[in-house]
Amino acid sequence: MKAAILKKPKEIIIKDIPEPEYGDNEILINIKEVGLCGSDVHYYNTGRIGDFIVEKPIILGHESSGIIAEVGKNVKGLKVGDRVTIEPGVPCYSCNYCKKGDYNLCPNIRFMATPPYDGAFVEYVAYDPNFVYKLPSNVSFTSGALIEPLSVGYSASKRAKIGPGDKVLILGSGPIAISILEITKTFGASRIYITDINDFRLEIAKKHGAYKTINIRKQDIFKELEDIKIDSVIEASGVESSIINSIKLVKPEGTVVWVGMGKDDIEIPYSKLTSKDLTVEGIFRYRNTYPSIISLLEEKKVNIEDIATHYFKLDEIDKAFNVANNPNADKMKIIIRI
C-alpha cells in the first residue's frame, strides 16, 4: 500500500509499504480523507513540536475518516463497509487518568502522527475499534475527518463555560478557530466576535455566523470591543500578542481559554489576571467528544465541510504542504484524499 513518509524536515516521499497486520481485537480501515493540521506542517517544516521530536521516518496525518476493510474476530458493533471516523489517540485504559475518563492525559497514549506513532497519510490503518465511530449517511468523509478539530472546539467551549446568551471572543480565524466558532454556537453564544489578519479567513468566519469580524491589522481591537462585556475569550492563534490580549479583553470573572500552541515562555499581564478574578484554561486535546459531535453533524447543528478549500491526492502531498506554507495563498482547510 502507499504511504506518505516524512524522512526529514521538508522531505516527504510516497512509498509502498506492507499493509498493517490487525489483531483479533482490531479493525483495518481504508483511509479516505485526512485533514492537514498545523501540527503536521510544523513537523514537516522543523521535525519537532516541543518535546516531541521526529527521530525516524514518520507517517503524518491524524484528522481522518475511511471505510472499514477488515474486522478482527473479537470485534463487535462494527462491520466491513462501515463508513467511519477515527479518534486519533488510543490510551492505556488502566492508568488513573484513563479510569477517570480523562484519557487525553494518559501518559501512555498512542496518538497518531505524534512521534513515534504513525498517522493516517496512508491507505490502510489497523486500529482499536473503541476509538472508531460510524458516520451517519448524511455526514461526509470530509466532515468525518474534521471531527478532530471540532473536538478541540468542543473541549475549548466547554472549558470556556459558555452558556446561552454569552458573548464570546475568538482570537484567530484558522481551521481550529472556525471549528471553535461552530461549536461555540451550539453552547448558546449569542454573539461571537472573531479576529484575524486575513480577510479571506474572516469572510469564512462571517459565513459561519460570527457576529462581528475584526481585522487586527486594520482595526484597533480595544476600540472595537470597547464597552463590550466579553464573557469568554478563546485564543486560537498561538500568537504572543493575542495571548496577552486574551487577558485584557475578557470581563472580570470571565474565562480565558488558551488553545493555540505558542512559545515556550510568554510574559502575561499577571496582576490583571488576578485582580480580574479570571480563570485561565490551557487545552490539551480532548476526550469523549466524538459521539456528541457526530450527533450535532447528523442534525446539522454544526456545519464544517465547507472550510475545506483545497483537496489533494496522496501523491500530491508535497503540493499540499507548499500551499500550507504559502502565506499569500487564500486557504482554510487542506484535505488529502486517499
Residues 32-91 that bind a copy of itself (CB under 8 A): 50
Least distance from a copy of itself to the Cβ atom of residue 72, Å: 13
DSSP-derived pairing of the beta strands 52-53 and 230-235: unpaired
- Among 41, 302, 52, 58, smallest CA distance to 174 is for 41
User: Which parts of 107-201 are beta strand (E)?
Assistant: 110-111, 124-127, 132-134, 167-171, 191-196
CB-nearer residue toward a copy of itself: 96 or 328: 96
Q: Which of 2, 273, 318, 330 binds a copy of itself (CB under 8 A)?
A: 273
230 scored as a contact of a copy of itself (CB under 8 A): no
Alpha-carbon dihedral of residues 134, 137, 140, 144, nearest 10 degrees? -20
Residue in 219, 241, 295, 322 binding a copy of itself, rule: CB under 8 A = 295
Among 21, 277, 327, 328, which residue sits at the site for a copy of itself (rule: CB under 8 A)? 277
Rule CB under 8 A: choose which of 96, 137, 223, 227 binds a copy of itself: 96
Q: Find the binder of a copy of itself among 22, 111, 258, 312 (CB under 8 A).
A: 258
Of 107 and 327, which CB lies nearer to a copy of itself in the complex structure? 107
Q: Tell me if 211 contacts a copy of itself by CB under 8 A.
A: yes
For residue 143 the three cell numbers come to 466532515
Binding test (CB under 8 A) with a copy of itself, winner from 21, 264, 327, 328: 264
Asked if 181 touches a copy of itself (CB under 8 A), the answer is no
Total residues binding a copy of itself (CB under 8 A): 72
161, 212, 276, 337: residue in contact with a copy of itself (rule CB under 8 A): 276
Residue holding cell 459521539?
A: 291
Q: Is residue 63 a contact partner of residue 166, using CB atoms and an 8 Å limit?
A: no
CB 143 within 8 A of CB 305: yes
Q: Which C-beta is closer to a copy of itself: that of 25 or that of 45?
A: 25
HSE-CB for 63 with a 13 A CA cutoff: 28
Q: Which of residues 109-168 bind a copy of itself (CB under 8 A)?
A: 130, 154, 157-159, 163-167
Residue with Cβ nearer a copy of itself (14 or 49): 49
- Tell me the three cell numbers of residue 164: 446561552
> How far from the centroid of its chain's Cα atoms is residue 183's Cα?
12
Residues 298-337 that bind a copy of itself (CB under 8 A): 298-299, 301
Write out the DSSP string of 280-327: EEE----SS-HHHHHHHHHTTS---GGGEEEEEEGGGHHHHHHHHH-T
